[in-house]
Amino acid sequence: MNAKNLLQAIQKRRSVRVYKSGKISDRQLAMILEAARWAPSGANTQPWEFVVTRDRKKMKRVREIYDNEWKQRKREDPVRYKGLKKDYVGDVSVLVLVCGDPRTMKAYLTTRQMADREKLFQASIANAVEHMMLMAAILGFGTVWVSVREEVEPELRELFQVPQPLRLLWTVPIGHARSWPRAKPRRKVDAFTHYEIYDPKKLRADSEIRAWPKG
């Protein structure tokens, strides 16, 4: 793959939240996981662990877990809570529960502060997830990041029998997009790039710190 094709693959990736039926072959799934295997990680600790399921009953249960969380938060703050429902986790071909082994942080011998170790730990696992998503996009599949919040973590841990001390970070649905979302607005490279020193004129105002519009 040349540089142009790689950039096109990166630009193709979307956060897909509407899926249709369709299979992902064992070979395609193996390629997605192989891509994750080659992600960079702090001290080459490779702290990621993936629980992969095609089981429809498990996916349905994951959907129930996320739906119960959404309903609870909506009851607590019916006006201001704008969280998106995650029903799509039950409609995909493959669902990946992304876990991390925090014991690997002990290998960061030159990183003394716990907060710095945490950054490196989560960044390492995020690298692997991004690799998976890019390979899925190349193969024509949609994906999306789904956070594992405290409210859903115990039930997901029990469902997938994830032992302590592993941490549950994200679930990643992989499947056939019913529709491929259009690209959302992106900041221009010049807006976030600073050469030699930070350009204070590019510092965004508080009013500009917001979710990007859909259109």
> DSSP of 84-140, one letter per residue?
PP-GGGGSSSEEEEEEE-GGGGGG-TT--SHHHHHHHHHHHHHHHHHHHHHHHHHTT
Say what the pLDDT of residue 111 is.
87
Dihedral pair phi/psi, residue 199, rounded to 5°: -90, 105
Per-residue confidence (pLDDT) for residue 215, from 0 to 100? 43
Each residue of 56-75: pLDDT tens digit? Answer: 999 999 999 999 999 999 99
CATH (one of 2.60.40.10, 3.20.20.120, 3.40.109.10, 1.10.10.10) for 11-179: 3.40.109.10
Residue 212's pLDDT is what? Answer: 66
Residues 186-195 have a mean pLDDT of 96
DSSP state of 31: H
pLDDT mean across residues, the chain: 95
Report the C-alpha gap between 3 and 99 in whole angstroms: 31
pLDDT in tens, 121-156: 999 999 999 999 999 999 999 999 999 999 999 999
Judged against a pLDDT cut of 50, whether residue 19 lies above it is answered with yes
What confidence score (pLDDT) does residue 64 get?
98
Q: Which pLDDT does position 170 carry in this prediction?
A: 98
Cis preceding-peptide flag for 163 (omega within 30 of 0): no
pLDDT, average across residues 74-93 = 94
Contact in structure between 22 and 176 (CB atoms under 8 Å): yes
User: Which range has highest mean pLDDT (76-80, 81-85, 109-113, 131-135)?
Assistant: 131-135
The model's confidence at residue 213, banded by pLDDT at 50, 70 and 90, is low
**Percent of the chain scoring above 90 in pLDDT:** 89
